[in-house]
Amino acid sequence: MSPALRAGASLGACTVAGYQWDATGLALILHLASNESHTLALPPDSPLRFTETSMRRCIGCVDFERLIRVPCPAQSAVGGTLQCSACARREGFLPCVRCKGRDCPPLPPAVRAYCTGPHHLYLACFGDSRVKVGTASAPRRAARLLEQGPLAAAYIAMADGPTIKRLEHEVACLGYASAVRRRQRGALLLSMMSAQTGRRHVADAYETISRRLMPSMRNQLHPLEYVPLPEWSFDGDVAQVKEITLEPGQTLNATVLRARGSFLMIEEGGIPGLLDVAALTSHLLHMNPAVDGSPPVRQLGLLLTPPTPGR
């Protein structure tokens, strides 16, 4: 596990290698110029100050023997990808991502052990009537859904990785989403659906899936196992919440209010906003730059109107 840093620590230039959830809540995974890896916890009431740059760097690769992300040795610049080609080859996980659980491709031994090990199938509701189906490996069972940020979710099956991937494909063929875009998730954070209603959508989907799957697949399901998720509430005016986007050279100087999934609800100058920290992945940021007395400059874009419940 990467050493933790306190909010407000002076870090200089850092590459955002991703984010994670732990006992303190949402945290950024940062690769420093020294190629050290650290986490920056962002609990409620913590400060968040950084300046965006025009540079993007490789986020390194996952070491599947230790299940940790290691920095890119060369700190290579990247464009439209998150990894340089050398780190992608070193990791060796991409063929597994593309696999549907049949005719599995050749994989490095540690990746194969991870992919063929125990996995879980879940159903998740993000704030409307759609239900997503997805998978989580056993080592990431607790973290996976916290990182996704649904309103309600439950695990419904456990088996080896290829079996769960095949089951996921069959459930998706019944009309359930295999992906919900982050922008949609952000908009749905402002929906008025309760967690209880979200659970009802998950339960209805489970009942339908149990009825429609072929017997050989249906027998792999287990009873609904709901996942405890952080509470999320916003009692202000939804119309006032803005999506935060930064251009190179712009600085954010805000206070964290709450978090769910990859989203932070923050406040700057009395204005509430949503920041998707996943969108910062691979970006080189100057963390906690010196304050020169001038007001921070940032660009606010309107958040998508929360979708009307329905398909």
pLDDT tens-place string over residues 5-55: 666 566 789 999 999 998 889 999 999 999 999 999 999 999 999 999 999
The list of the chain residues with pLDDT below 50 reads 292-311
- 1 three-state secondary structure: coil
pLDDT at residue 100, as a whole number: 79
- Cα 40 to chain centroid distance, Å, stands at 16
Size (the chain), residues: 311
Integer Cα distance of 26 and 146 in angstroms: 9
CA distances (Å), origin 84, targets 53, 109, 247, 279? 19, 22, 23, 18
Integer Cα distance of 19 and 30 in angstroms: 9
Integer Cα distance of 308 and 241 in angstroms: 18
Integer Cα distance of 139 and 161 in angstroms: 12
Integer Cα distance of 264 and 278 in angstroms: 10
Integer Cα distance of 200 and 128 in angstroms: 11
Q: Print burial letters for 99-119: b (CB count within 10 Å at least 16), e (below 16).
A: bebeebeebbebbbebbeeeb
pLDDT at residue 108, as a whole number: 92
pLDDT at residue 94, as a whole number: 86
pLDDT at residue 245, as a whole number: 87
Integer Cα distance of 29 and 19 in angstroms: 5
**Beta-bridge partner residues of 153:** 124
Amino acid at 192: M
Residue 68 parent element (H or E): strand 68-70
Integer Cα distance of 144 and 137 in angstroms: 8
Integer Cα distance of 99 and 250 in angstroms: 40
- Give the start-to-end residue ranges of the domains of the chain: 4-94+233-302, 117-226
Residue 297 parent element (H or E): none
